Structure 1
Amino acid sequence: MANRPAPALSLRDGDREELARWTRSSSTRAGLAQRARIVLLAADGSSNTEIADKVGVSRPTVISWRKRYQDKGIDGLVDQERSGRPRHIDHREIVSATLTPPPKKYGVTHWSTRLLAKHLSVGDATIARAWREYGVQPWRSQTFKFSTDPELVAKVTDVVGLYLNPPENAVVLCVDEKSQIQALDRTAPMLPMQPGLPERRTHDYKRHGTSTLFAALEIATGQVTGACKNRHRHQEFLAFLKQIARAYPDQELHLVMDNYAAHKHTNVKAWLAANPRVVVHFTPTHASWMNMVEIWFGIIERQAIHRGTFTSVPDLNAKIRAFITGWNNRSHPFVWTKTAEQILAKANRQKTSNAAH
């Protein structure tokens, strides 16, 4: 004997309107709307198999929710409170796991949200929220370096003293060289910037040699004395020192320099001894950032070299000299703000942190 379709489900008074509202409301949970639709179709006389096909569930599921409605009405369709404490994800545990290197089986150097989420069996968004709350950014990395110079305190105090309280009737110059500046020429002409389009250039280029820029930055005015040379040996450096001396005749000069070997060559020392009006102040080892001419090197790199096109080394040198001329026409003082105490305190923190790890 063939199975007969289940009889139409009888709805309680007022339930049809409420069930219909559940199926239409965007705020109703998907599962609850699906159950309401099953009950409404059953009340319209659809067979369990037809309802299963229309709603996209199994036939036993349809039978189960029909019975729940028959026994308990609308209340039987609502999810019951589950036993036990709701799951709570502690963001501190996520951060602790983030700070632990990933297991070797993953073959990665740091966690991503997806990988850590899979490892901890939580959602990606949960990992991202925990990282935002605690300011953890595993994808970022920075470098650090601290000076091991035994005269660190004396040199920092000396150089910063020049910047903050320069000697009266004396000129303070920051001196250094920017070596290996490449004369790069593009293989096709650049396409100029247009509305809605940035400047465009080919990714490939031709090399035409290199140049070295020697520069002396006067901190009180921002004026720069420069020279382009083919090499950066002590001979070229000594020639540049003589050029500086000619540019500032009969004035006491205080030169801030790093510890590059050419700066301490015997011939350089002999020339300095013969010219006592030129006094040298060395920055600590691994602290060339204290030389303010490095700031200016960054400026010329961004504004004249990085995006420049140079057909030869003489062309490169000419454009560097043109930039220096333009810079001196609009120069401004370079102002140092950090005290020696602040710099030394930070250096001590870095040493302590490094020792702890």
Structure 2
Amino acid sequence: MAAQRRDQAEPVPPWWDEQLRDLAATGGNDDPGVLTGWASREGLDRADALRAAVDVLALVESLPPIAVLRPPPGSTGAAIPRAAGTARSGSPMLDRVRALLAKAESTTFPAEAEALTGKAQELIARHSIDEALLAGGAERGDLPGGVRLSTDTPYAGAKALLVQEVAAANRCEAVWSDDLGFATVLGWPADLVAVEVLYTSLLVQATAAMLRGRAERRPGSGRRTKVWDESFLNAFALRIGERLRAATEAATEAAAEAADQAAVESDRLLPVLAARGEAVRERLETLFPGVTRHRLSVRDADGWSSGTSAADRAALDVGGGRKPRQVPGRPDRR
């Protein structure tokens, strides 16, 4: 990938270089030296390195096709940063959100975690509204982008549900590819970054709360740990989604009131948000026609109750559960 980047004609979209940096795959590798350099770093001899490379190529060739979320480098539209699907990763607002969520993850006080996560969602919602109004005043012709978030085992269904809830609260759509181990989130750049940051933090918070709740269970309370954990995480995801959506709705109402008081065209806000939401739904229908709903079952009432309580203590304030969408043709495994 680094060699491909070196040979790629400019301009290259910013997200390409960002992902290479995340993989520590930057540098001026020469084609003949890529495999040799990797083998040396990994302590492999040439035969093992070649075997690994062939195995990887065979795996890649066998993978099923997936939706193309962003124009690849060298193709039409690839160099448009705002259509690429990510917002500016180093913005001051995003730095503040990350700092708030880091504190929420580390605190041992549930009320503090709730306040910190709620403040983070409030900042995100306000920023999203500002971005929407800014984009609504320009003729750009952009399409919503997308990101993929891991929903690996264990409890992949609960993780997919958490992605769905966080996405819905931030005006995005989510589709779960359960056999591939990820959920695809579609939306506008600032909203996609928000979903990615929030999902990562809330997954940490949910896991920590689950482990604490598991330790507090009465000895001999019955159901298997896995069943309890799964019910806990499903309940956590639904309740967090409710609270996130409430924070977003409050921020939208506050923005509309502020526009009224400032004698600004407040009637612009809701149409702009509605138009952006419709564009995301159209993108969903284009990339994933005929998606289905995947039913999640709850088999432990105690786990469900504990998960709901943990979500109430951990992050925001809200209602309304959803089931994660699933790519057509994937069997319901529950």
TM range (shorter): under 0.3
Q: TM-score, normalised by structure 2?
A: 0.18
TM-score with structure 1 setting the length: 0.17
Structure of larger gyration radius: 1
More helix by share: 2
Structure having the higher strand fraction is 1
